[in-house]
Chain A
Amino acid sequence: MSGQLSADVVVIGSGIIGALAARRLAQQGASVLILEAGPRLERARVVAAFRNSPIKGNWMAPYPPSPWAPHPIYVPQDNGYLKQSGPYPYPAEYIRAVGGTTWHWAAQAWRLVPNDVRIKSLYGVGVDWPLSYEELDPWYQEAEELLGVAGADNTGSPRQHPFPMEPVAEPWSMRRFRERLAPAYPVVANTVARNSRGYDSRPACVGNNSCQPICPVNAQYLGINAVEAAEAAGAKVVPNAVVYRIEHDTKGRIAAVRYYAPDKSEHRVTGTTFILAANGIESPKLLLLSASDTYPNGLANSSGMVGRHLMDHPSTSLTFYADEELWLGRGPQSPSSINTLRDGAFRSQHAPYRLDFTNISQVLNVTNDLIKEGVYGAEFEKQLRWRAARQVNVKNVLEVLPNPDNRITLSAEKDAMGIPKPEAHYAIDDYTRRAAEASKTDFARIAELMGGTGLRYSADGQFANNQHITGTMSMGNDPKTSVVDGFGRTHDHENLFVCSTGVMPTAATMNSTLTGVALALRTAEHILPAKNTHAGAMHSGHEASLA
């Protein structure tokens, strides 16, 4: 066991959520250490790696897993890291590296709608959150200002103060959707962490259309920006530190964590407060791994709920040819949505959903189609242009209800470091499937309004995944049925907090990052209130939680 690191606050995971929590705490004067399993990355290398990749549709190609901190890869082969035990596959993707998974996102930065946190009371499904939308509102605002969120106040989520920036300029293709679908379907600009002007010393978007897997110009907020902000505030990042165990003392307080370096040497890090921010799969995995004699079911798991209530956003979609040239691929990848189906009385019967229009260039898809169809000769070029100009896609983003049988557990298989791999048990129930069925009517109507031909629905019963990992460490007021309280403090361990989308007890319909950041900022404030001295606040954490 070599060299003891120590800090007031030890954060496990350097993604956007962990890094922004770390930044806030460092700004309040705490010494903060961020342990990251994966390596540092360089944007320029990622850009070049993408351009040199043979499967351009494989957005994980520029992010090869490191042997000591693997993450799931499915193309060209499944690397077998995230085990699947069914009944429905859960092929989650995430990145273990400094900056985390939001190196590679479309920066959709949505708020929930107020009813999303009360669906049990209102609709008799799911659970209620242990906080209200109003309590979350100021934290959403702070998150939006940190990330630089561009939007307009027409998306259904109430707010007290304006967005930091005007909505991003609307691509021609999206404008035509908006014009032609009105008034049946109001199409609005996505609220996104993407600059519509110079912001925070970063440039405005210049339409590289590669938000996923990488923004080449730093116009989109990435987890790495959060890490740089945390480091500027004084937090220290230790990359290539694979945490494999969280240790507690005789009183049930967390005393230390242990990590492997890539050479498998063991290191121990002590601290006063610990924040688990290693995404909704790696975090419960670590809690389960840290089982001890006192806690045979894993840490923070007296409820037995760690890893359970796994939720994500499944999607089905319709692809078709519009009757006019739209040329998807000009501007950012995810500009517009229909938000009017996210809430309503129907939620007692079937899931709500958001309808999402892509602006991802269709050239690659069309080329692959033409080759598969054997379209050779002069027709190839004609068809490529015709289809690339007209092919469009609309997808739903469906809510999944919390189900304790959907869960992350430890697999019997181990990775290269001898650490058990995570295993997913997942299913999509009728509540969600009924919504998928209902959305087909919307898809058909949208295609009709766009003069659509060549309609291709995604296969029945097949759902794409959106990597919004929620539920596995759900928050709640009752320690018997939840893992953390409304402030992210684990019920079982006074000084162990969770900052992750994994604490969200229901998934709603919106990409979960902004909510995860807002909750994390609220947790950081709870740990160390702004303007309080370090000494006073750290030891009165318990009192604060009773307030």
Chain B
Amino acid sequence: MALDELDRVAANRGDPGDPSRRRLLAGLLTAYTASLIPWALAQPAPHADRGAFTALSAILVGRQTLDAAQATRLYDALAAAHPNFPADVQALLTLINERHVDPLQLQGVLDNEHSPLASLPRAIVGAWALGVIGSGEGARCVAYETALNAVIVADVLKPPTYAYGAYGSWTRKPI
């Protein structure tokens, strides 16, 4: 999509975000997918593959700021675990773009169509949310405290093994 269109979409969403980022992703998104991303991604993505991964990740986890160092780490781990990962990511992004698939419907659509991309969203969301790549014997932890499921509740809970606070501090109402 055109850059000025992207700027307009971002302005409509009420936050300007980082213009250089939008520049980079301009070629990857349509107005639809741009509207799915709460803008202000953390840092510029270095090249198109990683940019596509970051955009797809942002769509799938619906998350404003995705840490760039973490994105790099996860991208590298996922690419190592999945043959054809960059191409699959592009393909899924294109699919969402072109068919305007609601993220909540996405898995159902892919499963119903027996799409070869059906395992991809789960892998990406599992990586971001749980910090885990792969499954079964081959599963690897790549994040724990910075996994999104910890970050999302970080105002209320510490991840297990981390102390909540001085003795008795858990008797209070949470928030």
Using a CB–CB cutoff of 8 Å, the interface residues on chain A facing chain B are 47, 50-56, 76-77, 169-172, 175, 196-197, 204-210, 214, 216-217, 325-327, 329-331, 360-361, 363-364, 366-368, 370-371, 373-381, 384-385, 388-389
Distance A77 CA – B139 CA, assembled complex (angstroms): 12
Distance A210 CA – B164 CA, assembled complex (angstroms): 11
Determine which of B107, B125, B161, B172 lies in contact with A50 in the assembled complex, contact meaning CB atoms within 8 Å: B161
Judge whether B152 and A385 touch: CB under 8 Å: yes
Question: What does the 1/0 interface line of B142-175 toward A look like (CB < 8 Å)?
Answer: 0011001110110011111111111111111111
Given A206-B165, A325-B175, A327-B157, is A377 in contact with B140 using a C-beta cutoff of 8 Å?
no
Residues of B within 8 A of A55 (CB): 132, 139
Closest partner residue, chain B, to A359 (CB atom): B170
Judge whether B170 and A376 touch: CB under 8 Å: no
Determine which of B62, B158, B165, B168 lies in contact with A376 in the assembled complex, contact meaning CB atoms within 8 Å: B62
Judge whether A217 and B163 touch: CB under 8 Å: yes
Judge whether B126 and A207 touch: CB under 8 Å: no
Residues of A within 8 A of B121 (CB): 374, 376
Residue among B104, B145, B165, B167 with max Cβ neighbours from chain A (10 Å):
B167
Distance A331 CA – B156 CA, assembled complex (angstroms): 12
Cβ distance A57 to chain B, nearest Cβ, rounded Å: 10
Determine which of B102, B122, B135, B153 lies in contact with A377 in the assembled complex, contact meaning CB atoms within 8 Å: B102
Distance A172 CA – B132 CA, assembled complex (angstroms): 31
Closest partner residue, chain B, to A77 (CB atom): B137
Distance A71 CA – B17 CA, assembled complex (angstroms): 54
Given A206-B163, A376-B62, is A363 in contact with B157 using a C-beta cutoff of 8 Å?
yes
Cβ distance A65 to chain B, nearest Cβ, rounded Å: 15
Distance A374 CA – B119 CA, assembled complex (angstroms): 11
Whether B86 is near chain A, meaning CB under 8 Å from some CB there, is no
Judge whether A208 and B108 touch: CB under 8 Å: no
5 A-B pairs whose Cβ atoms sit less than 8 Å apart in the complex: A208-B161, A216-B161, A374-B104, A377-B104, A381-B62
Whether B103 is near chain A, meaning CB under 8 Å from some CB there, is yes
Judge whether B153 and A385 touch: CB under 8 Å: yes
Distance A214 CA – B31 CA, assembled complex (angstroms): 49
Closest partner residue, chain B, to A367 (CB atom): B149
Residue among A54, A55, A172 with max Cβ neighbours from chain B (10 Å):
A54
Given A172-B172, A327-B157, A371-B129, is A208 in contact with B62 using a C-beta cutoff of 8 Å?
no
Closest partner residue, chain A, to B123 (CB atom): A371
Determine which of A175, A206, A209 lies in contact with B166 in the assembled complex, contact meaning CB atoms within 8 Å: A206
Question: What does the 1/0 interface line of B72-98 toward A look like (CB < 8 Å)?
Answer: 000000000000000000000000000
Residues of A within 8 A of B135 (CB): 76
Whether B40 is near chain A, meaning CB under 8 Å from some CB there, is no
Determine which of B36, B141, B149, B174 lies in contact with A364 in the assembled complex, contact meaning CB atoms within 8 Å: B149
Residues of B within 8 A of A384 (CB): 129, 149, 152-153
In addition to A169-B167, A214-B161, A326-B174, 5 A-B residue pairs with Cβ atoms within 8 Å of each other are A51-B144, A55-B139, A171-B170, A206-B164, A207-B163
Residues of A within 8 A of B169 (CB): 207
Given A196-B167, A205-B167, A377-B36, is A329 in contact with B125 using a C-beta cutoff of 8 Å?
no
Distance A330 CA – B159 CA, assembled complex (angstroms): 10
Residues of A within 8 A of B102 (CB): 377
Cβ distance B141 to chain A, nearest Cβ, rounded Å: 4
Determine which of A76, A204, A330, A380 lies in contact with B61 in the assembled complex, contact meaning CB atoms within 8 Å: A380
Given A53-B141, A54-B134, A367-B149, is A209 in contact with B160 using a C-beta cutoff of 8 Å?
yes
Cβ distance B173 to chain A, nearest Cβ, rounded Å: 5
Judge whether B164 and A209 touch: CB under 8 Å: yes
Cβ distance A511 to chain B, nearest Cβ, rounded Å: 21
Whether B59 is near chain A, meaning CB under 8 Å from some CB there, is yes
Distance A380 CA – B149 CA, assembled complex (angstroms): 10
Closest partner residue, chain B, to A47 (CB atom): B161
Judge whether A210 and B139 touch: CB under 8 Å: no
Whether B38 is near chain A, meaning CB under 8 Å from some CB there, is yes
Determine which of A53, A329, A379 lies in contact with B157 in the assembled complex, contact meaning CB atoms within 8 Å: A329
Judge whether B170 and A367 touch: CB under 8 Å: no
Cβ distance B36 to chain A, nearest Cβ, rounded Å: 7
Residues of A within 8 A of B172 (CB): 172
Given A207-B169, A371-B126, is A54 in contact with B62 using a C-beta cutoff of 8 Å?
no
Residues of B within 8 A of A52 (CB): 141, 144
Distance A216 CA – B160 CA, assembled complex (angstroms): 10
Cβ distance B127 to chain A, nearest Cβ, rounded Å: 11
Judge whether B136 and A172 touch: CB under 8 Å: no
Whether B63 is near chain A, meaning CB under 8 Å from some CB there, is yes
Judge whether A374 and B106 touch: CB under 8 Å: yes
Distance A493 CA – B60 CA, assembled complex (angstroms): 67
Closest partner residue, chain A, to B164 (CB atom): A207
Residues of A within 8 A of B38 (CB): 378
Residue among A76, A326, A376 with max Cβ neighbours from chain B (10 Å):
A376
Cβ distance B32 to chain A, nearest Cβ, rounded Å: 13
Judge whether A363 and B125 touch: CB under 8 Å: no
Residues of B within 8 A of A50 (CB): 160-161
